Amino acid sequence: MPGGGPPNFQKLLQQAQQMQQQLMQAQAELAAAEVTGTAGGGLVKVVMSGTGELKSVIIDPSVVDPEDTETLGDLVVAAARAASAEVNKLANEKMGPLAGGLGGLAGGLGLPGLGA
């Protein structure tokens, strides 16, 4: 058996509980966070929560042209995409280290299909 002995289940349980607490804390931080995406040099702004919930769309009146609503729509989409990219970046910062720890837990069991 790789690792030289039986797995320490008490230690694994403690690690799992610690990771669960860290995960819950990271999720709470994401829910409380807000990110902003902009387009058109800041003429259109989209604010999202760290979980990706759309909070607001702010449009500078100077881009509102009744003859060209397509450009305004494109700016809103671009700002939403930028905000979504920021949400993903923030989620990776908060959750990424926790996801890496899962492999260590599963791999420490030495069971097939659960890690290295």
How many domains does one find in the chain?
Answer: 1
- Residue 58 domain-assigned (yes or no): yes
Residue in the structure block whose two tokens are 């990424």 = 96
Is 36 inside a domain boundary? yes
Per-residue pLDDT tens listing for the chain (116 residues): 455 667 788 888 888 888 888 888 888 888 899 999 999 999 999 999 998 999 999 999 999 999 999 999 999 999 999 999 999 999 888 887 766 655 544 444 444 444 44
Q: Do the domain assignments include residue 88?
A: yes
User: What pLDDT, on the 0 to 100 scale, is given for residue 96?
Assistant: 78
Domain extent at residue 60 = 9-98
Q: 3-state DSSP call for residue 110?
A: coil
The pLDDT, as a whole number, for residue 99 is 64
Give the per-residue pLDDT at 5. Answer: 67
34-39 sheet: strands from edge to edge: 34-39, 44-49, 54-59
Read off the CATH number of the domain in which 91 is found: 3.30.1310.10
113 lies in some domain: no
- Asked whether residue 29 is assigned to any structural domain, the reply reads yes
Tokens of 68: 């060209």
Query: What is the per-residue pLDDT for 87?
Result: 92
